[in-house]
Structure 1
Amino acid sequence: APLPKEVMIFAVGTQEVAQVTEEMTGKVSEAMPKVVSLVLEEVSSTSIGSL
């Protein structure tokens, strides 16, 4: 299969990297609505949004 022409990566930085848990920190949790909004905006503006 051909490789995509563009790959978009969304990330949220964290202050604590030594401890891994299943729960998000407060700051990461606060950032999630914005990240979700950005992802949805990107998907809806590309051809992948019509799949």
Structure 2
Amino acid sequence: MVLPFGAIGAVGAVAVGAVAIGAVAIGVVLRIMSRQAVSRPRWRIRARWATLS
């Protein structure tokens, strides 16, 4: 019964690590997007929304 618990622990550790890496990646992407949004003029975004609408 030791191996199943060990396998569950390993899978849990990998899952937690994957979630942590995913959260960091999402945070980095959001920071990059926010920087691009700040650097870009707002009238371009408004023009795009006007053309889409």
Fold equivalence (TM over 0.5): no
Which has more helix, going by share of residues?
2
Q: TM-score, normalised by structure 1?
A: 0.37
When Rg is computed on C-alpha atoms for both structures, the one with the higher figure is 2
Q: TM-score, normalised by structure 2?
A: 0.36
Q: Answer 1 or 2: higher relative contact order, Cα 8 Å, separation at least 6.
A: 1
